[in-house]
Amino acid sequence: MKKILVTGSTGFVGSHLVEFLLKKKNHKIYCTKRYHLSRLDNVKGFYNKVTWVDCDITDPVATLKIIKNIRPDKIFHFAAESFVSPSWDHPTRYMSVNYNGTLNILEAMRQIKSKAKIILPGSGEEYGEIHKRELPIKDKTILRPVNPYAVTKIAQDLIGYVYFKSYGIKVIRTRTFNHEGPRREKVFGISSYAYQIACIEKKLQKPIIKVGHIDDRRNFTHVLDIIEAYWLASEKCKPGELYLIGNESKNSIFTFRQALEKLIQMSSVRKITYKYHKPFIRPTNVPFLIADTKKFSKISRWKIKHSFNDILKDTLNFWRSKV
């Protein structure tokens, strides 16, 4: 029986991945949680079906202990500070989790001479200030990060490459572009709009949605497609190589304004409007994140199963069930 360790298993992507993995035969799933800090709402449906281990990945002692005790065959490393906006106010915290936490796992793997594959999920945010003439983004496109979060994800990626080159650790490097869906926290664009619409429908908020930058253009992918992509990456991709992951179909490339207006059309309330809210506006924004993902699709044979409308509908219905 193969052993799989998932960090960040109580989060947005991690919780969906664990549900996906539980459908696989002959796999034992280990999930990390912080003994007093992890929010468990996302994992109620499978809490008793996996083995939980208490670990804060920023603690090298705790991290070495779980890697040594479990000796996993695969590691899906999703524990991260992922919301961009607070990274300006907490850059040290973001580096501590995203870089140091990853380093602690890699160093533990080195110490026990682990042969496990580890999936490092990077972000399209790493590319930062991209110009139209540079689209679509490729793995060789120059990195111009414009927020501390992006810098920490670059650092995570590069230390992963170092441990691959120096010690032979089987690091699968990815940069994943915008993925959305149920369980995404309400501080992120599409999820924030859906949450506010759900509140408006329950008469808990005036019919005005607060927004930040809404003209940034993205290629959007449903989280359920992304977690399948991560599984395929663990099976098909070559350690040390970098793979961009995302839906490059023209039918999934939209601005946040277009996503917002589509969500408003899905609401049962008429005449919902929106306005800029200063606290939601970041010091810098990233106008374009549209990727060329052919390298990954070719090696993995990954197929998209969910449309952009599925993303919006599923996210809205999730918040309707929560509000």
pLDDT tens readout for residues 146-201: 999 999 999 999 999 999 999 999 999 999 999 999 999 999 999 999 999 999 99
Per-residue pLDDT at 101: 98
Helix extents (H) in the chain? 12-21, 60-70, 91-95, 101-111, 148-167, 189-201, 223-236, 256-266, 294-300, 308-322
Per-residue pLDDT at 15: 97
Residue ranges of domains in the chain, CATH in brackets = 2-179+221-245 (3.40.50.720), 182-218+250-289+305-322 (3.90.25.10)
Q: What are phi and psi of 275, to 5 degrees?
A: -145, 155
Residues of the chain with pLDDT under 70: 37
Compute the distance between CA of residue 23 and CA of residue 307 in angstroms, rounded to an integer: 23
Per-residue pLDDT at 34: 87
Distances (CA, A) of 167 to 102, 240, 296: 15, 11, 25
- Number of neighbours of residue 45 by Cβ within 10 angstroms: 11
Count, residues in the chain: 323
Residue 49 tokens read as: 């079906």
Burial class of 35 by CB neighbour count within 10 A (0 to 12, 13 to 18, 19+): exposed
Q: Rounded to two decimals, what is the model's pTM?
A: 0.97
pLDDT tens readout for residues 289-310: 999 999 999 999 999 999 999 9
Per-residue pLDDT at 292: 97
Per-residue pLDDT at 124: 97
Per-residue pLDDT at 309: 97
Per-residue pLDDT at 38: 75
Burial class of 261 by CB neighbour count within 10 A (0 to 12, 13 to 18, 19+): middle
Per-residue pLDDT at 176: 98
